[in-house]
Amino acid sequence: MKKMKVRGILIDINYKEGKIFLTIKNESGISTFYDDYYDYFYVEKNDENNAIINKLGMENVLDEVELEGKTFYKIKKVNEENEFYIKYAHNIPAWKKYLIENEITPMNLLELEVENDKILEVKDVGSYIPKLKVISFDIETYAPFIIPRVNKDPIIFASYASRDGEKGVITFKRGNRDFELLVKDEKELIEKLCEKLNEYEVIVGYNSSSFDIPYLMKRAEKLNGKFWLGNEEIEIKKLTTGKIVRTSGIIHFDLFYLIRLLANAQAIKTQRYSLEEIYEEIIGEKKMDLEEEKMCEIYDSDEKRGIYLDYSLSDAIATYKIFEKLYPLIVEICKISKIPLKELNNITSSQLVESLLFEYSYKYKFLIPNRPSEEELLERSEEKVIGAYVKIPEPGIYEKIAVLDFRSLYPSIIVAHNIDPKTLNCGHKECMKNVSPSGSYFCIKNRGIIPITVENLLSLRKKLKEELKKNDDPLIRARVAALKIILNSFYGMFRYVRSRWYSKECAESITTWGRKYILDIAKKAEEKGFKVIYMDTDSTFLTMGNKSKEDVIKFVEEVNKEIPEAMELEIENFYKRGVFVEKKTKEEIGARKKYALIDENGKIKIRGFELVRRDWCKFARDTQLEVLESILKEGSKEKAVEIVRNKIKQLREGKFKKEDLVIYTQLRKGKYKVTSPEFSAYEKARKRGIKIPIGSIIGYVITKNGKSISEKAEIAQFANDFDIEYYINNQVLPAVLKILGAFGYSEEDIKYYGKQTSLGEWENG
DNA sequence: CATGTCTGCTTACC
DNA sequence: ACTGGTAAGCAGACAGA
């Protein structure tokens, strides 16, 4: 038995019956060491609990701790059954406690002192970007009905790609590509893929938890073959939002979930989460695409099969490239919130925040509140909190606009006013002046754990942002991005009904203070002679008239002197022109959350318009974009009208691609009170024997077949004709009418245009 | 049986 | 396992005539 030191990156951590397992990676590969560690919970030291402990035996008491002025016993968790009425920290994963108590961080470099496999000492020696052996993979199926049927449609290709240049497509039908790996049949294909994947430390897929891995497993089972990853059974957990695949001995990472988190946090914006769109958004180039309907046909053709192989490989490569680009961000998320890589497979922003608050609570000796009971959940779900202020804009076109923004408004309010369930209405007389417009006041003597945490993160982010100005380092950029995502989720902790830190009063105080601060800006700006045209939550749009940029800068500086230290008003940008439109439903009332701006460099920013929505067809969205661009850039209404005229002509002449007419809508439920086009299209597909999972995004088009729009709706793949009138009157025209209207163009005229068009009269004139 | 209004539903903004 | 409030707007359902 010799003691030795081991250094390596902590890539995984697990707990099982009194033991913690740390998975470490270094030059000699991956190894796992264990530490004796008992999961525990806290109970308050009082007579009732003393009696229970006496019965249980003192050996179950691991420690005594002081938290928030009370004494707690730390009780060894042997099983879930015990008599304690109130327990704390009992449903926090043991591995998380271990990480926090030993001050070690996933993805950091650790120094272990071990004896055999047993850990004697563990030390975190700092930040490190681990280079892991990563391979991406993807499968293709032969699915004549587009949506694969697992008991019928075979897997025809399995592709993979890795950093070391390893790439290939496993197939049992030749495609004459040098990267193809020929096997005998599907069963061998699956096994070959396993061999390949298991050579690596991390396997990355895109939607692989919900599709590729379950499909591979079921096909393997059907063919009496084997699909294996790592060293234990693959565990599939079904959630409402998709499936989670858990492996051990090898890390499976599904990029899809991270993408969803980033999309929720507004870090990426795409219409759909398809690999193609995500690749374009993140990598900035187009990815090879194949028409779904022709895939079987291409596969069946000996000459064309190679193209399908190219496509299959391009999927694996795209997945790999996205992973590599996001890798610094992934690592930072793991580090900041102390979550091992595999846990990101099922992550939400509230979990990131919770994880951070666990750590800070431990550090600052705060008791971690428990999760709510079912009753509390019910009570909480009844409570409503009034949110942010949104100003109704005057429709029209504006010149010289300045947009001001509060930097991290809600987090900075939390810090400025020390908002926390534990500081709420503290009883101190001198704290009563720190009162919110909703009537709650917050302690000014003792800091709450949430303000402490938020303040730390805010100042860290500020520091990193300054560093970033000097040195544009991707790692720092990733940290800034990760911190932004986390900071924006803190406010949600107060009103998320399942939150441990739920507080209606805190949430209410934040939003009422937020409204007060933003309305104060409006008042001050008007006093200074600016005109406030629009506001939403933390942003203010001013028209400058004959005022200069310096005047705006001066105004912002003055404001910043008056508001609390932690808060800051910033200039988001100056715009030379902007468009606000009427609501479609009510004449002359401006629509909120809908605007288009062009800055001094010609860069366009568009929010809320149909063109950013996936439930409008691309044809109408493109038309709207062109119209907005021409108005913002050239200010020419004649040209804008000409664009619409031409687009309608194109529709009539059949000059469009089918995919430009597809409308995407998510089917969120299996049962509806009303028939919608997407549900009707889904039903028709189901009658054809196509299974579309609930939660899918349905792509449908409107055909000539039927009376109502729902009757005419058909899943894109099965549609052969298109109701052009629908696309003119319900898509293209509604998307541009209000914009041209804002430009002073008479709406009747344009509508008349539309009608004339529908009679087919003005192609000639 | 047209017409206006309400309802159910999805998506976007912050 | 889901930050949630503010808002727009479509298509279908319904109502009073």
Q: Supply the pLDDT for residue A392.
A: 92
**Per mean pLDDT, which range of A151-155, A261-265, A357-361 is the poorest?**
A261-265
Nucleic strand C under 7 Å from the C-beta of A219: no
Residue A480 has pLDDT above 70, yes or no: yes
Burial label, A58 (beta-carbon count in 10 A; 0-12, 13-18, 19+): exposed
Burial label, A565 (beta-carbon count in 10 A; 0-12, 13-18, 19+): exposed
Q: Supply the pLDDT for residue A765.
A: 29
Q: Supply the pLDDT for residue A764.
A: 31
Q: Supply the pLDDT for residue A749.
A: 62
Which is nearest to A253 in space by CA: A347, A165, A170, A335?
A347
Name the nt closest to A264 by C-alpha to C1': C3
Please check whether residue A447 is in contact with residue A431, taking contact to mean a CB–CB distance below 8 angstroms.
Answer: no
More confident residue, A371 or A56: A371
- Residue A534 and residue A542: Cα distance in Å, rounded? 7
Nucleic strand C under 7 Å from the C-beta of A729: no
Which is nearest to A158 in space by CA: A179, A129, A144, A178?
A179
Please check whether residue A511 is in contact with residue A388, taking contact to mean a CB–CB distance below 8 angstroms.
Answer: yes
Name the nt closest to A511 by C-alpha to C1': C5
| Structure letter (DSSP) for residue A145 | T
Question: Per-residue DSSP letters for A666-722?
Answer: E---S--SS--HHHHHHHHHHHTT----TT-EEEEEE-SSSSSHHHHEEEGGG----
- The structure tokens listed for A218 are 């079921």
Q: What are the residues facing A110 on neighbouring strands? A: A8, A124
Mean pLDDT comparison of A215-224, A480-489, A709-718, highest-scoring range: A215-224
CATH code, residues A134-339: 3.30.420.10
Q: Which nucleotides of B are covered by protein (CB under 7 A)?
A: 7-14
Please check whether residue A222 is in contact with residue A214, taking contact to mean a CB–CB distance below 8 angstroms.
Answer: no
Residue A688 has pLDDT above 80, yes or no: yes
- H or E, element range at A400: strand A396-406
Question: Which part of chain A is CATH 3.30.342?
Answer: 4-126
More confident residue, A399 or A759: A399
Q: What are the residues facing A116 on neighbouring strands? A: none
Question: Which part of chain A is CATH 3.90.1600.10?
Answer: 352-604
Please check whether residue A257 is in contact with residue A348, taking contact to mean a CB–CB distance below 8 angstroms.
Answer: no
Please check whether residue A698 is in contact with residue A664, taking contact to mean a CB–CB distance below 8 angstroms.
Answer: yes
Which is nearest to A538 in space by CA: A574, A572, A576?
A572
- Whole-number Å distance, CA A721 to C1' B9? 27
Render the burial of A167-192: b for 16+ CB within 10 Å, e for the rest.
bbbbbbbebebeebbebeebbebbbb
- Whole-number Å distance, CA A630 to C1' C10? 27
Nucleic strand C under 7 Å from the C-beta of A584: yes
**End-to-end CA separation in angstroms for chain A:** 95
Nucleic strand B under 7 Å from the C-beta of A586: no
- Whole-number Å distance, CA A703 to C1' B6? 28
- The structure tokens listed for A533 are 């045209």
- Whole-number Å distance, CA A709 to C1' C9? 16
- Residues 6 or more apart whose CB falls under 8 angstroms from that of A291 comprise none
Question: Which part of chain A is CATH 1.10.132.60?
Answer: 614-764
* A614-764, CATH topology level: Topoisomerase I; Chain A, domain 4 (1.10.132)
- Whole-number Å distance, CA A661 to C1' C13? 27
Strand ranges of the sheet holding A531-536, from the earlier edge strand across to the other edge:
A531-536, A539-543, A396-406, A569-582, A590-599, A604-607
Question: Per-residue DSSP letters for A259-272?
Answer: HHHHHHTTSS--SS
CATH class of A352-604: alpha beta
- Whole-number Å distance, CA A443 to C1' B9? 44
| B13 C1' closest Cα residue | A593
- Residue A388 and residue A609: Cα distance in Å, rounded? 21
Q: Supply the pLDDT for residue A758.
A: 38
- Whole-number Å distance, CA A643 to C1' C7? 29
Give me the phi and psi of A743, to 5 degrees please: -90, 5
Residue A108 has pLDDT above 70, yes or no: yes
- The structure tokens listed for A626 are 């062109």
Residue type, A68: E
More confident residue, A147 or A402: A402
Nucleic strand B under 7 Å from the C-beta of A26: no
Question: Which part of chain A is CATH 3.30.420.10?
Answer: 134-339
- The structure tokens listed for A65 are 């701790």
Strand ranges of the sheet holding A61-67, from the earlier edge strand across to the other edge:
A40-44, A70-76, A61-67
Specify the pTM: 0.90
Name the nt closest to A488 by C-alpha to C1': C3
What is the CATH architecture assignment of A4-126?
A: 2-Layer Sandwich (3.30)
**Per mean pLDDT, which range of A237-241, A528-532, A616-620, A729-733 is the poorest?**
A237-241
